[in-house]
Amino acid sequence: MEFHLPHGILRLVIRMKFLNVNKKCLFYMLRHANLDQYANGTGQPNISQASIANVEIACPNIQEQDKIIKEVELYEQEIAKAEVIIESIAMRKQFILDKCLK
């Protein structure tokens, strides 16, 4: 299984003890696991297989994973709506400034 992760980690292949996992939940669990702490090198940090071979990440059952992702996605939708509102307000502010300061 491969996931694209932030912080310069281009590819990560993981071996799981079980297959019943929500991929989005696994993505968030891996991001939360702070894998950067296992990185070595400068410029283009590298995480070696040996440095994370025995790292275990607790994983709730599939029903709990689905529940978590459903809630996270609701928050993501709320955040997206808020960002649209903020952008709209910023544009109106700039319009007023442009209009009044010319």
User: What are 83-93's pLDDT values in tens digits?
Assistant: 999 999 999 99
CB environment 3-14: b (16+ within 10 A), e (fewer):
eebeeebeeeee
| DSSP calls for 37-101 | GG-BSSSS-B--HHHHTT-------HHHHHHHHHHHHHHHHHHHHHHHHHHHHHHHHHHHHHHH-
Tell me if the pTM is above 0.95.
no
User: What are 26-54's pLDDT values in tens digits?
Assistant: 888 888 888 778 888 777 777 877 888 78
